A and B are shown apart, each in its own frame.
Chain A
Amino acid sequence: MRGANQVPLPLAGGVRGGASRVSPTARASHALPRPLPRAGGEVLAALLLCISPAFAQPVTPPARYANVQLADPAKEASARALMETLRCLVCQGQSIADSDADMAADMRALVRERIERGEKPASIRDWLIARYGDYVTYDPPLSGLTWPLWLAPILLLGSGGWIARSSFRRRTR
């Protein structure tokens, strides 16, 4: 069922090469059991020494804009708005705006860089859809398959109103 397994993971034309690592951090509930060094020591300093290497040396440092905002607040706002509608492809249903996964970080960097260059959010979205398919956006584009979805609210409201009408008495004066 999950599209995550079928899409190519590296952002081919994107920020940096190399397959995304699925980090064992936070929200991925199927966190891969990459063993962390055991924290057994009582001495705090030893503990710090023991656990810090795993975090102090990421395999590749995250791209520049992964966790850094754009200087222009208007541009950052439009980047943020776009990020909230993009799906993190390796996560359990999170947007790239709120995921710890490396791939989400890469995609955030990509979005911010392109916005910074002056590209329109819609064209970035289209570019991502062309690359990863409709699965990447939480805002399903209108198509032969999705028009019933987008029409549903109006159809429901119309048919519901028509049914509700029967419970009203005609006003007689």
Chain B
Amino acid sequence: MIAEAGLAALWFAGALAALQLVMAAIGIARDRDDVAAAVRPVAIVQGLLAVLAMALLIELFLDSDMSVKLVVENSHSAKPWLYKFAGAWGNHEGSMLLWVTILGLAGGAVAIFERSLPERTLTATLGAQATIALGFYAFLLFSSNPFARLNPAAADGLGLNPLLQDPGLAFHPPTLYTGYVGLSVAFSFAVGALVTRDVGPAFAKAMRPWVLIAWIFLTLGITAGSYWAYYELGWGGWWFWDPVENASLMPWLAATALLHSVTVLATRDGLRAWTIMLAVVAFSMSMIGTFLVRSGILTSVHAFAVDPERGAFILALLAIYIGGALALFAARIGTVRAGTTFDPVSREGGLVTNNLLLSVILGIVLIGTLYPIVAASFGVQLSVGPPFFNKAAGPIALLLVAVMAVGPLLRWRRDDAKAVLRRVMLPIGATLVAAIALLFVWPGVLPWAGLSLAAGLAVASVAPLWKRNLKRTPLFTYGMVIAHLGIAVSLAGMASDSAFTKETLVAVRAGEPARVGPYMVKLDGISPVIGENWSALEARLTATRGGSENILRPQLRFFANPPTSTNESAILTVLDGQLYTVLGQPDGQGRWQLRLWWKPFVTLIWFGGVLIALGGMLSLLGRVLRERRAATRAEWT
């Protein structure tokens, strides 16, 4: 019954999305306010029905209902509770249902909370949101039904890929999807504003919090995903320029650019067409990412449960939505008045440069990710990976960091180049000192530039607080400071890891020590361990550094359903870095392979990511509080 109820909820939600679209269209085209007024409640109910469908699917996984095809193919009754729960989205159908659920929730949230947008534009926005939802409901119902039954029912399931059996599965996909799909709201806002010809500062102020929310979740999702891959894959890498990683990076780059351009539109009424364009691009990148990941057209370490045929369906949706939005953009952009222009040396100028560089990086990542597909159509098998992206995007990213250091120190409208130079003397000094100091431990060109610029940016990012009354500084200024500082911290971690990592690969017998960086690591012995649905061989390693001793227990883990083995790394985190240990295969003569890395300051990468997201949250809070105060003031006067 539960499966049928879930399917029914999905059909109802799809029907309500159709209704929402029709009513929004009538409301706007015929100027029927009574019809338009019903759009909000319909959007809310549609969102609730999608949540209900998702909840019922989770219930099926928790129950291990082996008469449901999806549960049989992706779950097992002996799996721990958490992975039954999170396993609901650890597969194609479930993850698409999660996608649609978040889409419905986002639409419902807009319907409930959005009060500052003119009613007509809001109706058009919810209409656009319904159009997107409709396509994805159709996708689920016609080609990816998560509730399909299996007759006769199976005795037990095939199990979940052990790489996914990690607490990360409970956190990472929902976070990332909230970011991806949250960008649909920006997209719908842009379409809504184009339909009602309402592009201006008020629109930008209404859109900004939604962009911020999506961006915060994207940042957290990428950070968490990177750390998960880092400890789970067992080779100490945290970013591989893999297609699936790029698929998450591209919407983030677009959203970051959008976040900055929307500020120009809200504050200075500039960059009107560009902001609309970016909103369309950002969500397009989310959809392209979904297509790349779900279709399996590019091979990836992180792609689980792919299906090429369904990829064609997503590709069709992608063409309709992006094509439709671009057509609307082309038709209406003539009616959007040119925004204000401004001086090159000004805050706006800095933000335009930020947008330019972010867009160029986005273009490089997009072209590099898709190029193997292009080459394949010419009959050539190509790989585009880290060497290309580092060479092509690395220098531009560093340039962007330099601009980021200067940007917040510029005044709006017009600034004086000499005065600016005086303001950035201290950051430039910090950069130079770091650059010269690093010459003595030469880390390689990119890490050298990265570390030096990180030092400069760290100083520059807190400079906007200099000589200011800290109590009266608005919350969103703190947000910007912390987010930019986060970039400096993260960059320092990346550069330090790639420059100073020490690697030791050894085959040792019990009792034999091995040296890696500042640590002496001794294999004490190997013993078997049994977990809930796995068994393992566990090494006991004693890591000694100076007087302190730590025990690490990396495992070779064996799963029976499906039969797979994984390396579970053991990581020792200390203030100045991480000791990363992996147990490899035995050689049959009593020796065990150990992979050991000492990674100085590698944790800064993810700490920086969390700071960036925290900055976003402060910014969001500051903006929302200010709007609310302004609204209360308006009521009283």
Contact = CB atoms under 8 A, between A and B. Distances in A.
Interface string B289-325: 0000000011111011000000000000000000000
Contact of B383 (A36, A80, A136, A168): A136
A135 B341 CA distance: 47
Q: How large is the interface on A (under 10, 10 to 19, 20 to 34, 35 or more residues)?
A: 35 or more
Contacts of A137: 383, 387
Interface stretch (B61-69, B167-175, B460-468, B585-593): B585-593
A17 interface: no
Nearest to A37: B558
A34 B381 contact: no
B274 interface: yes
A167 B342 contact: yes
Contacts of A61: 587-588
Contacts of A138: 383-388
Interface stretch (B24-32, B220-228, B359-367, B600-608): B359-367
A35 to B, nearest CB: 5
B381 A171 contact: no
A87 B385 contact: yes
Given A34-B563, A135-B383, A92 B349 contact: no
Interface stretch (B91-99, B188-196, B234-242, B546-554): B234-242
A152 B392 contact: yes
A97 to B, nearest CB: 7
Contact of B382 (A34, A69, A135): A135
Interface in A59-118: 61-62, 67-69, 80, 84-85, 87, 91-95, 97-100
B364 A152 contact: yes
B388 A149 contact: yes
A36 B381 contact: no
B387 A139 contact: yes
A29 B161 contact: yes
A149 B367 contact: yes
Interface string A6-48: 1000000000000000001111010101111011000010011
A156 interface: yes
A36 B558 contact: yes
Contact of B558 (A51, A150, A156, A164): A51
A126 B235 CA distance: 26
Contacts of A164: 352-353, 355-356
Contacts of B565: 24-26, 36
Contacts of B236: 98
B271 interface: yes
A43 to B, nearest CB: 10
B363 A156 contact: yes
B384 A140 contact: yes
Given A39-B558, A169-B341, A153 B352 contact: no
A67 B507 contact: yes
B523 to A, nearest CB: 15
B576 interface: no
Contact of A140 (B234, B242, B388, B528): B388
A84 B563 contact: no
Contacts of B506: 68
A152 B367 contact: yes
Contacts of A133: 381
A56 interface: yes
Given A69-B503, A167-B274, A171-B343, A26 B233 contact: yes
B560 A38 contact: yes
B118 interface: no
Contact of B584 (A1, A67, A87, A134): A67
A98 B396 contact: no
Interface residues of B, number: 79
A88 B337 CA distance: 53
B418 to A, nearest CB: 14
B530 A47 contact: yes
Interface string B327-361: 00000000000010111100001001101100110
Contacts of A92: 299-301, 303
A150 to B, nearest CB: 8
B371 A149 contact: yes
A167 B359 contact: no
B449 interface: no
Interface stretch (B38-46, B107-115, B372-380, B610-618): B372-380
Given A39-B558, A58-B585, 12 more contacts: A27-B234, A31-B562, A51-B537, A67-B593, A98-B233, A134-B380, A134-B383, A146-B382, A156-B359, A157-B360, A167-B271, A171-B343
Interface of A: 1-4, 6, 24-27, 29, 31, 33-36, 38-39, 44, 47-48, 51-52, 55-58, 61-62, 67-69, 80, 84-85, 87, 91-95, 97-100, 133-140, 145-146, 149-150, 152-153, 156-157, 160-161, 164, 167-169, 171
24 contacts: A1-B376, A26-B233, A26-B566, A27-B233, A29-B161, A29-B163, A29-B303, A31-B563, A48-B527, A56-B586, A68-B505, A68-B507, A87-B385, A93-B240, A93-B298, A93-B300, A133-B381, A145-B380, A149-B371, A149-B384, A152-B363, A153-B360, A156-B364, A167-B352
Interface of B: 161, 163, 233-237, 240, 242-243, 270-271, 274, 297-301, 303-304, 339, 341-344, 349, 352-353, 355-356, 359-360, 363-364, 367-368, 371, 373, 375-376, 378, 380-388, 392-393, 396, 503-507, 527-528, 530, 535, 537, 556, 558, 560, 562-567, 584-588, 593, 595
Cβ-closest 10 pairs across A and B: A138-B385, A98-B235, A3-B381, A139-B387, A39-B535, A135-B381, A169-B341, A156-B363, A156-B360, A153-B392
